[in-house]
Structure 1
Amino acid sequence: MNASKRTSLLCPNCRTLVSRSAPVCPSCGMKNPGSIWKDNIFTRGAGGENGILRTILIANIAMFVLSVVIDLRPAALSGSPFNFLSPSNQSLLVLGSTGTIPLLQLHRWWSLIAASYLHGSLLHIVFNMIALHQLGPLIIREYGTNRMIAIYTLSGIGGYLISALFGVRFTIGASAAICGLIGAALYYGKSRGGAYGNAIYSQIGGWALGIFIFGFLVPGINNFGHAGGMLSGALAGYFLGYRDRSQDTFGHKVLSMACIVGTVIVLIWSIINGLFFLLT
């Protein structure tokens, strides 16, 4: 039993049991699956569907609570559903709201990631987390967990970069990243075709249309961020591929872990800024 543990492992790419000394995985063709460069904590995948979606949800809730607590104001308890538990602009800036001013004047490029975990009110975060809960399982099923993480993270960055190019001064919310999931789903449905692909394309297309209609009717919505997120998600879906066309690769795992590590570092820095603001 102990010898088996020492001489075999699960392939970091396809999770097939292989010999640690095997020159190539017989299932997926990965070379030297037992190499320390390929079999380590950073390359074994990002966990299952429920785990990653729950982690994103918890991170968003934790950052929202922190944003309210570090600068609690009577206005945050307003009876208006659009403003209830609304963090102050100062607390959001401290924690990482993004836009032309944080990026170009304050040089806070880390805010491109942090902003996706900040929200302007209780209603804002509830809507976004419901959307994540509905879209996340679809993207994980068709792209896999690793590619979903990459699409989510890169779409948030891309959406906020594009909105900054169009002059949006301050912006927050998970909606750019979530719109990236919509973009990836639209690409998948259009590319796959058939009854299933067309159904996905039609249903998710309705979501996209509804988001833009809502954005033009309600003031303060970052339509450039939404559009940029969808475009980034569609491009990520195209370049990363989906399961029907390509298997999950070692490169997908590395990109996924890079996104996770980068996000963790940024959120830790954001929390440190918030605690420093609270104590001074």
Structure 2
Amino acid sequence: MAERLADIRSDLLTQQLLTFTKRPYTSWQLVNQQVQTIEKQLTTVLAKHGHQLDDLKHTDRGMLAAYQPNELEFISKAVKNLRVMREVKAVVQTQYNSILTTAFPDSDLDKLETIDKEQIYTAVVYYDPELKPLSADDLRQLQQQPPVVFTSQQHQAGLNYLLGKMELKDIQDHRLQRVLKHDGTRQLFIGECGQDPKLDHQQIEMVQARLKQQTTRFDQYKQDQIKDYQAINYHPTSPKNYLMNILDEALVTILYAKNTDYLRKQQLRGLKETEWAMTKKQRQHQTRNRHEDGGMHL
């Protein structure tokens, strides 16, 4: 019986994780919302009997003796669902953290919101699949001039798959297969295709329309199934815009929070900018005084 329950929990966990990889941040928001909803419902049921959520952590048989069968069934199901959701969150955070820590060994990931982790994770998986540590200079270069990852032939193969003209297994390149499976990396791929002059750009518009249709259907299905579901859609973007938008200066500082060389350079830069601003203000003040003096001599 214990083995069977473990299998069921494992299946639920796998199912949740598969949904997660399709729509990562939407799924993260959904899990948080579901946890809150279930905890609220549990609190209401427990309060009728003078109990609180914390009491479930060290419950004994006597505590639940006065509960109705339907209440016990609800509590059992709710506790199981909460456990699965917390495991999903833990697995996802572990995945994000392990990838980001490898790419940015000097980072302070505790200071990053989950949406930031997901967006940077997407960029790392797309541009740095071998997970080589990225220096601040590497990152700056990546932002200014994102490399073209795939050939025109691979672009065309990916678009054919996204248009339903071929199966994923028929794509020879495993890196491209991985990119096409997930929303975030897929959008970077489409953005890269948009900059390929050898492609018919009408088919890119067809791909975007098709994905939008699929996403709308998926979101509608989820909303029918789960009332807490709120869609957060990925918008068409170019690789450069994506990287410039997600990697602002505050966030980059977090990625190199333990890198003394980077922090020292940032400090020097800050001092130079302050010095320049003060000099500029001084120059404006002197110019204004000269104008005022000139006016008096006229």
TM-score, length basis structure 2: 0.25
Which has a greater percent of helix? 2
Larger Rg: 2
TM-score, length basis structure 1: 0.26
